[in-house]
Structure 1
Amino acid sequence: MARRYCIIGAGYTGLAVAKAFTDLGLDYDHVEATDAIGGNWSHGVYDSTYLISSKDVTEYPDYPMPDHYPDFPSAAQMRDYLRAFAAEFGLDHRIEFGALVTDVAPLDESGTAGWRVEFGGGGVREYTGVVVANGHYWDINIPSYQGEFTGKQIHSKHYRRPADLDGPRVLVVGAGNSSCDLAVEAAVTFGNSEISLRRSYWFIPKYVFGIPSGRFDIGSVPIPKPAQEAVFRSIVALGMGSFGSFGLEKPAHRIFDQDLVVNQQLPYFLKHGRIAVRPEIARFDGRAVHFTDGTSGEYDTIVWATGFRTTFPFLREGLLEWDRGQPRLVAHSFAPGLANLYFAGLVAPRSGAGMLLMNASRLLAECALLQQRLRTPLGDLYARIAEPSGEILAGGPELRWEVLRGRFLVRAMTQLSTLLTLLPGATAADVSPPPSPVRDLPRAVLRPILAAARRIA
């Protein structure tokens, strides 16, 4: 079979993967289920959406955003940027639109022999490997409560503009970035709104001392998590002060245990009495909503800003191990026991992801090349230094270090595999002098690299 890969999804992540594969000369088919480039930015955000991470940490490193873009570009500007990026590097001509993937299955037990991909139109193709970059903000999650609400209901993914709401009584459920935006937009439109919070959250201002707060989550070396938490608690203290002064409870969880909410407008509208906070919903009764504190209110519209489920409907049951709704992956990329199946973008960094996405995509491309030489799934070898996990929240410094470490190890393994291929029957001890990247590795790290080299076909 010719060496050819399938990249699923042409959004923010899929485009980075396509660029990395193109740069390394890997042949691929790029398939997109919708009719547009941009993923969620083209078919999953409301008209008034703006980035919560500044442009300098969101842009791809090899294609800066235009100088005239503001610090926080709009959804329309982000869409234009992604299309321009794809056109600049000739990626747009390789995308097949309307290509819905319905089934992905390994040709052998581990996927070492390749993968079979079936499409909604009935076509079937075989590939060396598959990159899953279809995103995790599309399968909507709406909680269930006792009773029935007879007013209008809409999930934030399907909301586009205030005309989608029946007013004037609007309840927004959830406390993520979207819920805060939509509570504010409803308050501007109808004079006031209410927001239901199951728990309190950490609210991060967009600016600290005139600097976009996402820049405080950068760094080329790993920073201890307690130190990172201290920095962000200081940012919250500067931006919010006392939670109680806004009618909010101080969050009971540690600051990095849940997604951070980057929003300054919600506290502003709370202080002006334009938005009221409600606790979690207990039950419905027609248009009446009863809350867990015994209070109730009547509403015309409920906006469910309650997030998404991570699902891959085209992957057969049993291929992945799951932990609390997330697949257990090695380094956010490799499924244990499977070769040539890669996951891209399945992580929620605290700041912009442009540099991270591009470098992680380059790592995947290098892994795809190395996997061609190995009998063992590369992810299983990688798991010797990084345990599989279902955690998707992570900070910029640790993600950058994880990618840097991964690329270093993959390149070292590639050098060893090349040397041992040129010298049949040789071992690492026969190589003199050893290549410098390998010579400097500590023994605990070198051991799995040598083990991988011995499994070369």
Structure 2
Amino acid sequence: MRGNRGAHRGSPDSGSVTDVVVVGGGQAGLAVGYHLRRQGLDFVILDAEAGPGGAWQHMWASLRLFSPADHSSLPGRLMPIQSGHTYPDAAHVVDYLADYEKRYDLPVQHGTRAEAVHRDGDRLLVEADSGAWRAKAVISAAGTWSRPFVPALPGRGVFAGRQLHTVNYRRPADFAGQRVIVVGGGNSGAQIAADLALDGDVDVTWTTQRPPRFLADDIDGRALFDAATARRRALDAGRDDTGGVASLGDIVAVPPVREARDSGRLKASPMFERLDRDGVRWADGTRASADAVIWCTGFRPALTHLAPLGLRGRRGHITTVGTRAADEPRLHLLGYGDWTGPASATLIGVGRPARDAAREIADLLDA
């Protein structure tokens, strides 16, 4: 039987029992919380962040969404338009997520970190830093922001300047008068390099593994979502792979990137071979001095809390059927990328896999 059509609000100190524990209170956790409520299930959302907003509260100041507000919404609640802006900024997204959490009275326990998930008979035991929860199902929606990836390039330990990742970047003023190397040919690398280049007070070099591939200027997140969805449908139907988003390019030409590119201030250099004490060096012996290196080199999925279940494959992913772990039907993964649902790492894309996960869990509990 299903739960009491509410959300469990008891303290986990003595080992609380609930239908579902959701790990992560960002956009994926909130979206699935909305659908769990509609299914009448008893659940709790454990979120390591001190307040609402997920990873969006840590983004750099100039960041804007790829899509307009009306195409960046979670289920049940349209994102309001941000006055004066077609593409909302990160602060607007944080406000929207905070309002969403409050509007639907979602039981998010902020400042609570899930540390391990174990099998415990007919339930899963979720150990958190504030206690333990026993649940009939667990949804991992912890995302990737907490696991930044930096390649093991020669000389990283020798370089005397600052090294930081996308997660640490905030604004050009932090690098005024400095020489900065930005590494990475994706959206974060292009946007941060453009942000620094347009400031005019930073000497920036943008390096990429291969020549950057910009999407057509009229393509934004709406087209990316459609492409990702079409690819998943083709694969599910046994048709040829359409290539999805990757077939269109790597970098969305948001206005600042377009401005920096068209003005000649955003030019990519090939990837350097190694770092030395004062900068970077290319294979042909060319070098560039640097005060800082910003690694915009992506993330890995935050799955450490699931290690006791022994489900991870050689590439570090857990094999899924839809959002359900193939070898543990009580576990669902949501919001990590296309392997947990088409465009599921986006605001608009997470709604459908969140709905499907909630329905599948409801069916499991009713069986």
1:279-294 correspondence runs (5 A): 279-294=270-285
Q: Quickly say closer, same or farther: Cα 1:6–1:340, change in 2 above 3 A.
A: same
Which amino acid counterpart does residue 147 of structure 2 have in structure 1?
D
Could you list the per-position Cα deviations for residues 111-139 of structure 1 after superposition, in whole angstroms to 9, with x for gaps in the alignment? Answer: xx111111113x12211111101112320
Could you list the per-position Cα deviations for residues 144-188 of structure 1 after superposition, in whole angstroms to 9, with x for gaps in the alignment? Answer: 222221111111101112233364311100111111111112112
Q: Quickly say closer, same or farther: Cα 1:144–1:150, change in 2 above 3 A.
A: same
- 2:36 maps to what in 1? 21
* Residue 351 of structure 2 is aligned to residue 361 of structure 1: no
- 1:95 maps to what in 2? 108
Contact 2:143 2:302 in 1 (8 A): no
- 2:151 maps to what in 1? 143
TM-score using structure 1 length: 0.67
Q: Quickly say closer, same or farther: Cα 1:173–1:365, change in 2 above 3 A.
A: same
- 1:393 maps to what in 2? none
Contact 1:140 1:309 in 2 (8 A): yes
Tell me the secondary structure at the aligned position of residue 125 of structure 1: strand
Deviation at 1:354, TM superposition (A): 4.2
Contact 1:100 1:120 in 2 (8 A): yes
CA–CA distance in structure 2, aligned partners of residues 12 and 338 of structure 1: 24
Tell me the secondary structure at the aligned position of residue 315 of structure 1: helix
- 2:331 maps to what in 1? 341
Deviation at 1:359, TM superposition (A): 2.3
Which amino acid counterpart does residue 306 of structure 1 have in structure 2?
T
Contact 1:4 1:26 in 2 (8 A): yes
- 2:118 maps to what in 1? 105
CA–CA distance in structure 2, aligned partners of residues 227 and 125 of structure 1: 41
CA–CA distance in structure 1, aligned partners of residues 111 and 345 of structure 2: 29
Contact 2:175 2:202 in 1 (8 A): no
Q: Quickly say closer, same or farther: Cα 1:352–1:28, change in 2 above 3 A.
A: closer
- 2:194 maps to what in 1? 184
CA–CA distance in structure 1, aligned partners of residues 276 and 24 of structure 2: 41
Deviation at 1:55, TM superposition (A): 2.2
* Residue 128 of structure 2 is aligned to residue 119 of structure 1: yes
* Residue 205 of structure 2 is aligned to residue 194 of structure 1: yes
1:9-408 correspondence runs (5 A): 9-43=24-58, 45-69=59-83, 70-91=85-106, 94-108=107-121, 113-121=122-130, 123-147=131-155, 148-165=158-175, 167-189=177-199, 190=201, 192-205=203-216, 207=218, 212=220, 214-215=222-223, 217-218=225-226, 222=233, 255=247, 260-264=250-254, 265-266=256-257, 268-317=259-308, 319-331=310-322, 333-348=323-338, 349=342, 353-374=346-367
Tell me the secondary structure at the aligned position of residue 304 of structure 2: coil
CA–CA distance in structure 1, aligned partners of residues 234 and 77 of structure 2: 28
Contact 2:66 2:221 in 1 (8 A): no
CA–CA distance in structure 2, aligned partners of residues 30 and 124 of structure 1: 13
Tell me the secondary structure at the aligned position of residue 56 of structure 1: helix
Contact 1:58 1:354 in 2 (8 A): yes
CA–CA distance in structure 2, aligned partners of residues 39 and 330 of structure 1: 26
Count residues with an aligned counterpart.
338
Deviation at 1:272, TM superposition (A): 3.2
Tell me the secondary structure at the aligned position of residue 163 of structure 2: strand
Contact 1:173 1:196 in 2 (8 A): yes
Q: Quickly say closer, same or farther: Cα 1:297–1:276, change in 2 above 3 A.
A: farther
- 2:8 maps to what in 1? none
> Highest relative contact order (Cα 8 Å, sep 6+), 1 or 2?
2
Q: Quickly say closer, same or farther: Cα 1:165–1:71, change in 2 above 3 A.
A: same
Deviation at 1:27, TM superposition (A): 0.4
- 1:446 maps to what in 2? none
Deviation at 1:33, TM superposition (A): 0.9
- 1:433 maps to what in 2? none
Contact 1:279 1:292 in 2 (8 A): no
CA–CA distance in structure 2, aligned partners of residues 81 and 31 of structure 1: 19
Structure with higher Rg: it is: 1
Deviation at 1:270, TM superposition (A): 4.1
TM-score using structure 2 length: 0.83
Deviation at 1:255, TM superposition (A): 2.2
Tell me the secondary structure at the aligned position of residue 128 of structure 1: strand
Contact 1:137 1:307 in 2 (8 A): no
Contact 1:192 1:274 in 2 (8 A): no
Q: Quickly say closer, same or farther: Cα 1:25–1:318, change in 2 above 3 A.
A: closer
Contact 1:150 1:286 in 2 (8 A): yes
CA–CA distance in structure 2, aligned partners of residues 162 and 303 of structure 1: 12
- 1:388 maps to what in 2? none
Deviation at 1:229, TM superposition (A): 5.6
CA–CA distance in structure 2, aligned partners of residues 2 and 325 of structure 1: 30
Which amino acid counterpart does residue 199 of structure 1 have in structure 2?
R
Which amino acid counterpart does residue 106 of structure 1 have in structure 2?
R
Deviation at 1:48, TM superposition (A): 1.1
Q: Quickly say closer, same or farther: Cα 1:290–1:280, change in 2 above 3 A.
A: same
Aligned CA-pair RMSD: 2.8
CA–CA distance in structure 1, aligned partners of residues 189 and 346 of structure 2: 22
Tell me the secondary structure at the aligned position of residue 273 of structure 2: strand
Contact 1:167 1:301 in 2 (8 A): no
Tell me the secondary structure at the aligned position of residue 139 of structure 1: coil
